[in-house]
Copies of this chain bind each other. A is one copy, B any other.
């Protein structure tokens, strides 16, 4: 299943409420991140076994991107309720349709180019899930990132068919730079890429332990889902579900109880969390390059480095600016630096507070 939610505020003004991150081509692949995700998952599960959970407003765009997505596999949220509700509902629906099913949840807006490496990890995670673990795939850090959460891996799981799987001692939040360096040096920490693989019932049990009302809510929704009562029950139940990330409701408690397993992923991965990350993806890691996004970009630049996103069709000239981030859209313009890329979210907050919601 693909939870396709979240605007990607750190990518404003490219990402908007009406055109969230997963509907953009941020890698230069020529297609949206959502479509990239679909193409990555289809060989693993088959197209007919991919479910997408997204907002009502994005239904048409999602279906246009994924023309072979089965009708019954589109789950529409009337309003965003965070990942526990989205993934929990998908788990509850799928477990009713196919008891014992193993599900995997993969974000709609991450980047992975090594399809084979990804697939091998999923296969091991599925084995761990069959052995009743909540399984995750943790990415081997390529540097001391402070932009990701970390998974502290422990002893080998000793699970036949999943030779690389490890136990998890804890999930940890985004660290400071010094802690990140320590994590990297230790070799025992992996990036949390938000991928979870489990038997649907197992995931719901774990959710019920920490969030019993939320678990009961998604089960109630699932019971009505494939019936004529769906709309009525959604209206009654969905708006009252607790908003909580699945990391807190399922992953952390399962880790604490020794029921979480991690398969270390030795493939490239990026959550494309901010413009510095996009610049990195496009420049092949070289700091001196200027990345240019936008099919009709007309950019004139000298020694400038950083990233230009051009969606306005205008001529853009850059002179002598380093590590620059310029995002040019028809109604809003952002100018910042890679070093400040994480602060973009604060602009979105400020625009909301100052009544400038028309550009959000």
Residue positions of A touching B, CB distance < 8 A = 12-13, 298, 300, 302, 312, 314-321, 324, 326, 328, 330-337, 339-340, 343-344, 346-347, 350-351, 354, 356, 359
Given contacts A347-B300, A350-B300, contact A333 B316 (CB under 8 A): yes
What separation, in Å, do the CA atoms of A346 and B302 have in the docked complex? 10
Name A335's contact: one of B13, B298, B324 (CB within 8 Å): B324
Does B298 lie within 8 Å of A317, measured CB to CB? no
Tell me what chain A mostly uses at the interface: helix, strand, loop, or mixed. Answer: mixed
Does B337 lie within 8 Å of A315, measured CB to CB? no
Give me 30 A-to-B residue pairs in the complex whose CB atoms sit less than 8 angstroms apart, sorted by A's number.
A12-B317, A13-B317, A300-B347, A300-B350, A300-B351, A300-B354, A302-B343, A314-B331, A314-B333, A315-B331, A315-B333, A315-B351, A315-B356, A315-B359, A316-B332, A316-B333, A317-B333, A317-B334, A317-B336, A317-B344, A317-B347, A317-B351, A319-B337, A320-B336, A320-B343, A321-B335, A321-B340, A324-B335, A328-B333, A333-B333
Give 18 A-B pairs besides A314-B330, A317-B351, A319-B334 with Cβ atoms closer than 8 angstroms.
A12-B317, A300-B347, A300-B351, A300-B354, A300-B356, A302-B343, A315-B332, A316-B334, A316-B335, A317-B334, A318-B335, A319-B335, A319-B336, A320-B339, A321-B335, A321-B337, A324-B335, A326-B333
What separation, in Å, do the CA atoms of A311 and B313 have in the docked complex? 16
Does A319 lie within 8 Å of B333, measured CB to CB? no
Does A343 lie within 8 Å of B319, measured CB to CB? yes
Does A320 lie within 8 Å of B347, measured CB to CB? no
* Interchain nearest-CB distance for A302 vs B (Å): 8
* Interchain nearest-CB distance for A352 vs B (Å): 11
What separation, in Å, do the CA atoms of A260 and B335 have in the docked complex? 49
* Interchain nearest-CB distance for A158 vs B (Å): 49
- A314 contact set on B, CB distance < 8 A: 330-333
Q: Which residue of B lies closest to A299 (CB)?
A: B333
What separation, in Å, do the CA atoms of A334 and B335 have in the docked complex? 11
* Interchain nearest-CB distance for A15 vs B (Å): 14
What separation, in Å, do the CA atoms of A321 and B108 have in the docked complex? 32
- A315 contact set on B, CB distance < 8 A: 13, 331-333, 351, 356, 359
- A343 contact set on B, CB distance < 8 A: 302, 319-320
What separation, in Å, do the CA atoms of A336 and B128 have in the docked complex? 54
What separation, in Å, do the CA atoms of A356 and B351 have in the docked complex? 35
Does A319 lie within 8 Å of B298, measured CB to CB? no
What separation, in Å, do the CA atoms of A336 and B201 have in the docked complex? 57
- A328 contact set on B, CB distance < 8 A: 333
